[in-house]
Amino acid sequence: MNKPLPEFGVQDLEVVQRTPGYRGFFAIDKVLLKHRLYAGGWSPLFTRELFLRDPAAGVLLYDPDRDQLVMVEQFRIGALPDAESQGTSPWMLEVVAGIMAPDENAADLSRREAKEEAGCDIQDLVHITDYYNSPGGSNERISLYCGRVDASDAGGIHGLEEENEDIRALVLSFEEAWFALQEGRMNNAMAIIAMQWLYINRDSLRQKWRSQGPCVA
Of these residues, 163, 165, 175, 183, which one is catalytic? 163
Give first-to-last CA distance, the chain, whole Å.
44
CA distance 58 to 195: 12
140 is catalytic: no
HSE-CB at 60 with a 13 A cutoff on CA atoms is: 31
Catalytic positions are 163
